[in-house]
Amino acid sequence: MLGVAVLGSLNMDLVVETPQPAGPGETREGTRFYATPGGKGANQAVAAARILGQRAPVTMVGRVGRDPYGDELIASLQAAGVGTKYVRRDPTRNSGVAVIFIDAQGENYVNAVYGANGCCDEQQVADAREALKDAAVLLVQQEIPLDVTLKAMTGARKSGVTVILNPAPMRSSLPDGFLAACDFLTPNAHEAAELSGFPVDSVDAARRAALQIRRTGPATVIVTLGHLGAWVEGKNISELVPAPSVPVVATVGAGDAFNGGLAAGLAMGLDLLEALHLGVAAGALCVTRAGAQEAMPTFAETEHLLGQE
């Protein structure tokens, strides 16, 4: 069985839990601080690896710095079973970091400094090409240079590899043909609102946004809606995949868990709806735990949750 290749970011997350994030000119006291490996690309790679287990390989493509954070980021991937042959060490930039505030409701606020991630170039395009030899799915985001991501997506499509684009974080401008270069586009409600031009605050709004976004080129648009689940809009599908009801500890990494679960499901040969249920369950389990990569569930855990529905 072929697996998943992930091209994207690796960041060290510096997390502050606080009843309320400080506003302009304010100082507020937090309740807990910790550092944990993250980055959308690395998180999604770990999520896919936890689901796939020994069934198929997951390979990460990206850059870290020659610093202790880089060591920790690579070690975390390896501990989860992610291949790190194509995680390069940049000689000039530090590893990326993200400062994350988590409020009393579990909502997160993120400010990132991407560091070595921003130096991804033709080397990562070539590395992705090699990683795709063992992959059925390429999973990408928007935390590294977009021209690199576009070239990798285009090459993957030409090779018959399924491409999932998680359009996060949103960018002010995208290269021509960027959204059309993927098979599945997976914005959350905020990203779908920016891409469609109107608020996405309900299931019906998600449906309308997905229809509008599809006109920009992606064959299938999947709008993730947190506790409501995910709306999928494609050529022969238009429906809500509901999320299991779970207690929320923190929403950090939930979207990454969804995307990793979706990619793993497609690599396993599940049909789209089955893969979506797997992704939604992975996202639901992730929010019941603190942290990012350490919060990613296994296949057995997602099966158990789905079996309770």
What's the pLDDT tens digit per position in 233-248?
999 999 999 999 999 9
3-state secondary structure of 216: coil
**Which pLDDT band, with edges at 50, 70 and 90, does 290 fall under?**
confident
Of 309, 258, 265, 300, give the one whose Cα is nearest residue 279: 258
For 164-215, write each residue's pLDDT tens digit.
999 999 999 999 999 999 999 999 999 999 999 999 999 999 999 999 999 9
Peptide bond just before 242 cis, omega within 30 deg:
no
For 9-53, write each residue's pLDDT tens digit.
999 999 999 999 999 999 999 999 999 999 999 999 999 999 999
- % the chain with pLDDT above 90: 94
Give how far Cα 259 sits from Cα of 89, 90, 92, 165, Å.
25, 27, 31, 9
Query: Does pLDDT of 136 surpass 90?
Result: yes
Structural element, H or E, at residue 16: strand 11-17
Domain 3-308: CATH superfamily, name plus number: Ribokinase (3.40.1190.20)
**Which pLDDT band, with edges at 50, 70 and 90, does 307 fall under?**
confident
Query: Does pLDDT of 251 surpass 90?
Result: no
**Active-site residue (options: 13, 67, 256, 271):** 256
Of the listed ranges 38-42, 97-101, 104-108, 151-155, the least confidently predicted one is: 104-108
pLDDT of residue 309: 65
Delimit the domains of the chain by residue range.
Answer: 3-308
Residue 273 in tokens = 């709806």
- % the chain with pLDDT above 70: 100
User: Comparing 267 with 102, which gets the higher pLDDT?
Assistant: 267
**147 is known as an active-site residue:** no
Q: What is the pTM of this model?
A: 0.94
Task: Determine the average pLDDT of the residues in 113-133.
Answer: 98
Query: Does pLDDT of 291 surpass 90?
Result: no
Looking up tokens 């304010």 gives 26
CB-based burial, 120-132: b 16+ in 10 Å, e otherwise: beeebbebbbebb
Of the listed ranges 100-109, 184-193, 275-284, the least confidently predicted one is: 100-109
d(C-alpha 160, C-alpha 80), whole Å: 27
